[in-house]
Amino acid sequence: MSYFWGSKQQYANTYASKVKRALGSNIAKQIKVVRNAKGQYGVIYDRDGNYETAHRVAMNHAKLLRQAGVTKAKGYDAAYPIPDQRYPSGPSKQPSSKQKPTPQRPSQQRPTPLQFDITVDSNLEADIDLYIKGLRFRGVLGSTDRTSFVVYDVTKQKKVVSINEDQTMMAASLIKNFIMLAYFHEVKHKRLEHTAKNRQQLRQMIQRSANTSTNHFIRLLGGPRGVQRILKWNYPYFNQTRIVEYIPAGGRTYRNMTSARDLNKFYNQLWLGNLPYSNKMKYYLGLPNGDRMHDKTCIPSNVRVYHKTGTVYGLVADSGILAIIGPQGKQRAYIFTGIIEDQTKTSNRNRSEAFWSWVRRRSDTLRRVSEAVYEYIYEVHYGGSFDCRAHAGQHLKR
């Protein structure tokens, strides 16, 4: 059972102590702090059993940890069953820079999800919430618009913003991330081949957001049920994502669903290399196209973006990784997910505004929020000074 993963051993030790107190003395004997092949420290419960029994225990432990105030997370975000990796125990002292993690034999079983540090550490969340309320007051956003935002510092493994991240929303083209994941899962297990045709279709699906290419992969994977089955059995931590339909003619897809939480997990796992063919997926997500988190913003041009947008009359969204160069010249990465949904717009009777005008105002909203996120990450998390001459440092105040 896995409860926590992070880059600092001291955090793992502290969290392990909390878990032991919450779960009782009998279980505490089997709670360990370990290191994985990437040098991260985890808190695990070493037990023998199959996946089904481990799942039941995980749900029980998650409930106990939440009741004890150890975490605000629910279900798989608090405790997760994982295959035995024969982890080496974490050393009592911090390892020297010369020490290398013990390489582990790759597991052929279910992948291990990232465990969140659930504590939101900033005032940025309140600033975004206030900004959105101001847009509603001025009529830029409607009373029927729902918003969802998540910001996660991948380098520090720290959640910065969590606003309505558990709300299940229309996925539109955001669902294409999960279809690509299901495809590469089948390629990994040699049930499909990564042919020249499929490479071209992937480029069209991700870079051009081509719906015909999306339907090509859905058919290849056994239809919507086939895709959903692959995700459910192999990536159950995407438990708020539902694929139930092909992309209809005209692109009006309203029934496939996801959440900011699931998208955040996807990109976190992707960046850490825990998904099949992560580098190939990063390649497709990094192909140049229009975005709503970097293009037409004051964010420096040297920032790399790996993302997928979602657009339909009723939803405007963008989710992805921004790889920035920190003040010390090192690459840092964080995830930004912003979703604005209005389910009333799925009906033609409620569409009084031209489609692109409706989309543009909400796209601009995501860009303004993204600018403030970059400023916060760069300055507060990494000690830099972001000299934004375009807005004189007045992000979210215009």
CB 256 within 8 A of CB 242: yes
> Would you call 6 exposed, middle or buried from its count of C-beta atoms within 10 A (0-12, 13-18, 19+)?
buried
The ranges assigned to domains in the chain are 1-116, 124-381
CB 196 within 8 A of CB 180: no
Question: Over the chain, what is the mean pLDDT?
Answer: 87
- The neighbour count for residue 72, using CB atoms within 10 Å, is 14
282's tokens: 């990063």
**Mapping DSSP to helix (H, G, I), strand (E, B) and coil, where does residue 293 land?**
coil
On the question of pLDDT at 195 being above 90, the answer is yes
251's tokens: 């692109």
- The neighbour count for residue 24, using CB atoms within 10 Å, is 10
Q: Across-strand partners of 316?
A: 311, 340
CB 258 within 8 A of CB 169: yes
On the question of pLDDT at 106 being above 80, the answer is no
Report phi then psi at 340, rounded to 5: -125, 120
Give the pLDDT of residue 51.
61
Q: Where are the alpha helices (DSSP H) in 149-277?
A: 176-188, 196-207, 211-220, 223-234, 260-272
Give the pLDDT of residue 397.
67
The CATH number of domain 124-381 is 1.20.272.10:
no
Question: What is the band of 11 on the pLDDT scale with cuts at 50, 70, 90?
Answer: confident
Q: Which of 52-66, 110-124, 279-293 has the lowest mean pLDDT?
A: 110-124
Residue of higher predicted confidence among 308 and 98: 308
Question: What integer is the mean pLDDT of 332-342?
Answer: 98
Q: Across-strand partners of 335?
A: 152, 321
Residues near 30 by beta carbon (within 8 Å), at least 6 away in sequence: 45, 46, 47
CB 260 within 8 A of CB 337: yes
| Residues listed for the chain | 398
Question: What integer is the mean pLDDT of 60-72?
Answer: 80
Q: Across-strand partners of 41?
A: 6, 35
On the question of pLDDT at 98 being above 50, the answer is no
Residue of higher predicted confidence among 103 and 350: 350
Question: What integer is the mean pLDDT of 288-315?
Answer: 97
Q: Across-strand partners of 318?
A: 309, 338
**Mapping DSSP to helix (H, G, I), strand (E, B) and coil, where does residue 5 land?**
strand
Residues near 108 by beta carbon (within 8 Å), at least 6 away in sequence: none
Distances, alpha carbon 53 to alpha carbons 24, 49, 83, in Å: 19, 6, 12
Residue of higher predicted confidence among 46 and 125: 125
> Would you call 25 exposed, middle or buried from its count of C-beta atoms within 10 A (0-12, 13-18, 19+)?
exposed
Residue of higher predicted confidence among 107 and 178: 178
258's tokens: 């996801």
CB 271 within 8 A of CB 336: no
Question: What integer is the mean pLDDT of 180-205?
Answer: 98
Q: Which of 26-40, 79-93, 320-334 has the lowest mean pLDDT?
A: 79-93
**pTM for the full predicted model:** 0.73
Give the pLDDT of residue 288.
94
Containing 125, the helix (H) or strand (E) segment is helix 124-138
Highest mean pLDDT among 116-130, 219-233, 377-391: 219-233
CB 157 within 8 A of CB 332: no
